[in-house]
A and B are shown apart, each in its own frame.
Chain A
């Protein structure tokens, strides 16, 4: 066998190759989408609807649909997620109930998005009678991102030093006031980061909206929450797999993929920047 020194060299070489392969994946995927998609993107592509049975024109209705879904799902998931995180981090004491809640949250986080889609279809579309609509899809997506928001908010609040809470409580301030005036303001940047990351998730999810209201093509924009909608990820899927002319619409497909990627990664980038900024600013 090799001497320890030599085997260390060999092992480290393998590890280096592994990380290079991973980085290679990232660069390959990004460069393909960017180089092929950039030519398709223009102002018209962004502000016009699809034309000529989706073989020409832009993706405006899909962008609008995705924005509606983001607003709708965040309006539901943010307040519930933050309140749940406040309870779990600030009020709950170790015990069976809290354990069950924590287990439920991790299981929700691990549930496949297509299962959420089935649930949304059975519960929101059919049982509650919302039909295939923005409303049903937003609620379904809210469930998908709820665990993400809870976890991120919990983490943000956990970084607040307990000395600050204790000082506040020792002054006779109630727990809720302490949460509102001490914990939340400090944890806010972290919570915003989590919220932004979940926006990226909502923008990219396809399977849940496929089952709850995304439309192949709509001639006009939706005008109420009970309308069906087009959305970027579903639009890309449709164009790439079942469009009228899959081969000739390749540039539109790359363009759509790039816009989607820019939204999701752009949003993630902003979140990382916020986190960095406040990490440097606040040191305890």
Chain B
């Protein structure tokens, strides 16, 4: 009976472990399938030509598959989103955790959570019908479908990630640090920017990284508002011109390509690059969180 119970417990634990390990298996399978389907492109085109190619003309004869315009499009839109979301996000997080009275904070938090719940296609739709015409009119542009429109929408979408993770980090700073600072005669603001925020910096950095990851990987919104022109964006003028991101290219073009064609494999190659980029961002965010985790009083 005892042995029976033990072996049953052991069997259960093994099954549970196997199910958990599925996460690792899935990640490995994603890598295998993405790299296998993507690598087929490099039979015909050298990898370096793909990575540094300045033109993306997948349907011309012969087709040209250069990643650079798409990669730079993604980076430009993401950089713009970060410029918008980081100051707003961190300031809001500080407000919620340090300044707002508790009952106000309890109202603000779910409002911010709403931003996280809105589906990306609804953001895209809003950008398309509300933001783009106004942007065009306001800045007197030939089209409102620009990198800027993408940055604004992605900035809004990255806000809940940045706010909620920063807010966690800020509120986990031990009270005695703040009280020490206040007791020395520092104002609340001096305490916030000299003591609290620096102490929470690792969590805030992780928040920014994860917000960036969300922006880089976002598909539907950018596809609906950035105009999708695969040209290398100029700087700084390119922010007011249409761009095409890596994610939008995959989603837009996959429907039209014959399976197994060069173009099909090129889209998988883009996906593989995207996967590697977001993987690196996640790993860095994890490392930052772990390495500089605030250790006081434990």
Q: Which residues of A are in contact with B by a Cβ distance under 8 Å?
A: 4-5, 7-8, 11-12, 14-16, 18-19, 21-23, 25-26, 28-30, 32-33, 80, 83-84, 86-88, 91-92, 97, 100-101, 103-119, 121-123, 126-127, 143, 146-147, 150, 174-176, 200, 203-207, 210-211, 233-234, 236-237, 240-241, 250, 253, 257, 260-261, 264-265, 268, 272
Of chain B, the residue at the smallest CB distance from A250 is B129
Specify the chain A residue showing the minimal Cβ separation from B248: A114
| Inter-chain contacts of B190 with A (CB < 8 A) | 4, 8
B218: nearest chain-A partner, CB-CB = A112
Residues B247 and A22 in contact, CB atoms below 8 Å apart: no
Known: A15-B91, A110-B282. A260 touches B119 (CB 8 A): yes
CB closest chain-B residue, reference A234: B121
Taking a contact as CB atoms under 8 Å apart, the answer to whether A15 and B23 are in contact is: no
Do A237 and B117 contact each other (CB < 8 Å), given the known contacts A25-B156, A108-B23, A174-B5? Answer: no
- The docked-state distance in angstroms from the alpha carbon of A167 to that of B163 is 39
20 contacts across the A-B interface (CB closer than 8 A): A8-B188, A15-B91, A22-B88, A22-B159, A25-B156, A86-B16, A88-B20, A91-B16, A100-B24, A105-B23, A111-B217, A112-B219, A112-B274, A114-B217, A115-B271, A116-B30, A204-B120, A207-B220, A233-B121, A241-B128
State whether B119 touches A103 (Cβ < 8 A): no
Q: Tell me whether A19 and B130 are in contact (CB under 8 A).
A: no
Output the nearest chain A residue to B109 by Cβ-Cβ distance: A272
A119 touching B219 in the complex, CB below 8 Å, given contacts A206-B119, A264-B119:
no
Known: A83-B15, A115-B278, A268-B113. A121 touches B187 (CB 8 A): no
> Which residues does chain A contribute within 8 Å of B210, judged by CB atoms?
110
B21 near A: Cβ within 8 Å? yes
CB distance from B26 to the nearest CB of A (A): 6
Q: Which residue of A lies closest to B85 (CB)?
A: A22
Partner of B254, one of A88, A92, A211, A257: A211
Decide: A33 near B259, CB < 8 A? Known: A18-B88, A272-B110.
no
Contact B271 A241 (CB under 8 A): no
Interface check B81, CB cutoff 8 A: no
- B contact residues around A109 at 8 Å (CB): 282
- Answer whether residue B49 sits at the interface, using C-beta atoms and an 8 A cutoff: no
Asked whether, in the complex, the Cβ of B267 is within 8 Å of the Cβ of A118, the reply is: yes
Main secondary structure of the interface of A (DSSP, over half): helix
B255 at the interface (CB under 8 A from A): yes
Is A16 within 8 A of B95, CB to CB?
Answer: yes
Closest to A36 in B: B129
Does B13 reach chain A (CB closer than 8 Å)? Answer: yes
Distance between Cα atoms of A106 and B287 in the complex (Å) = 12
Closest 9 CB pairs of A and B: A112-B217, A204-B119, A18-B91, A87-B16, A8-B189, A110-B282, A207-B219, A84-B20, A122-B33
Interchain CA distance A114-B253 in the complex, whole Å = 12
Q: Which residue on A lies nearest to B96, using beta carbons?
A: A19
Chain A residues, Cβ within 8 Å of B122: 29, 33, 204, 233, 236, 257, 260-261
A5-B187, A33-B126, A112-B218 are contacts. A101–B20 as well, Cβ < 8 Å?
A: yes
Binding site for A on B (CB under 8 A): 5, 8-9, 12-13, 15-17, 19-24, 26-27, 29-30, 33-34, 36-37, 87-89, 91-92, 94-96, 99-100, 108, 110-115, 117-126, 128-130, 156, 159, 163, 186-190, 192-193, 210, 213, 216-220, 224, 247, 250-251, 254-255, 259, 267-268, 271, 274-275, 278-279, 281-283, 285-286
A residues in contact with B87, CB < 8 Å: 18
Contact A106 B33, CB 8 Å, known A91-B16, A176-B9, A204-B122: no
Contact B189 A265 (CB under 8 A): no
Report the bound CA distance from A12 to B114 in whole Å: 24
A110: which B residues are within 8 A, CB to CB? Answer: 210, 213, 217, 278-279, 281-282, 285
Report how far A182 CA is from B173 CA in the complex, Å.
33
Q: Shortest distance in angstroms between A140's beta carbon and chain B's nearest beta carbon?
A: 11
Residues A11 and B129 in contact, CB atoms below 8 Å apart:
no
State which of B22, B124, B250 has its C-beta within 8 Å of the C-beta of A237.
Answer: B124
CB < 8 Å: which of A11, A84, A207, A261 contacts B247?
A: A207
Q: Which residue of B has the minimal Cβ distance to A263?
A: B119
Distance in angstroms from A118 CB to nearest chain B CB is 4
Q: Which residues of B contact A91 (CB under 8 A)?
A: 13, 16-17
In contact, A115 and B126 (Cβ under 8 angstroms): no
A113 touches B219 (CB 8 A): yes
Q: How far is the CB of B126 from the nearest CB of chain A, in Å? A: 5
The answer to whether B217 touches A19 (Cβ under 8 A) is no
